[in-house]
Each structure stands twice: as structure tokens, then as C-alpha cells.
Amino acid sequence: MNSFDGKDFIYVAKSLSKINKESYIRSAAGRYYYSIFWIARKYIESECGIYLNKNNVHSEIIEFFKDDFFKKTGISESLNRLRIIRNHADYGSYHFNKDLIESINKNYNHILNEIKKLIK
């Protein structure tokens, strides 16, 4: 298991998203994704005892939450949505703005709340 705890990326994401410039918003999108990615990864490894392949870890996490047990949580769909947005932030050409950050934050909080419910 990796000892790095990337959940603190959320503080970077929120700080970047306060600046209404596209480069900051694109960077915030990436930090939102990586914060929740690390939270989801930690849940899988710590709570479920499953250690993930380093080569396909992003896809593996999304696939893990497609399991019938987790399907009703919507974690897989929300996480995949954030991953796609993160990829577009790094490589895509469409416009990033404050409205998109609100949507990203909503998906982030949905995943976070669902994982917290699973831990209880």
C-alpha cells in the first residue's frame, strides 16, 4: 500500500478554484480528481484489503466500484466523470469555468459521502 495520503489535494483544489482564470480552474479540476482518487484507493486498500495494480490503477478503481455491492452508490460513475474532466483539463480544448467547478465539487462530495457511509 502507498503511504502517500493525497486527500489533502482538496485544499489545493479549493484554493485554485477561487481564482477565475482558466489555467487555475483546469488545475483545480485535476486536484479535485486526485484528491478523491486517493481517498477511493485508500478505501479499497485499507478497508477491503485489495492492492491495486500500479499500471491500471485509475481504471481498476472505477471498475471496483461497478460491482453490484457498490452500484447503488454511483461512485463509479461520478469518479469516471471526474477522471474524464481531469483528462480534458490536461489535454482537451473545451472551456473550463466556475460552473464546471461547481459540478466537479458536487461529484467530489457525492463520492466522499458515499465512501464515508461505506466505512461506517
> Tell me: the pLDDT tens digits for 71-104?
999 999 999 999 999 999 999 888 899 899 999 9
Tell the CATH superfamily of the 6-119 domain: Nucleotidyltransferases  domain 2 (1.20.120.330)
Alpha helices in 8-56 (DSSP H): 9-17, 22-42
Q: What is the DSSP letter of 34?
A: H
> Tell me: the pLDDT tens digits for 9-66?
999 999 999 999 999 999 999 999 999 999 999 999 999 999 998 889 999 999 999 9
Residue 2 has pLDDT above 70, yes or no: no
The pLDDT, as a whole number, for residue 120 is 80
Residue 108 has pLDDT above 60, yes or no: yes
HSE toward the beta carbon, residue 2, CA cutoff 13 A: 16
Element (H, E) at 112: helix 98-119
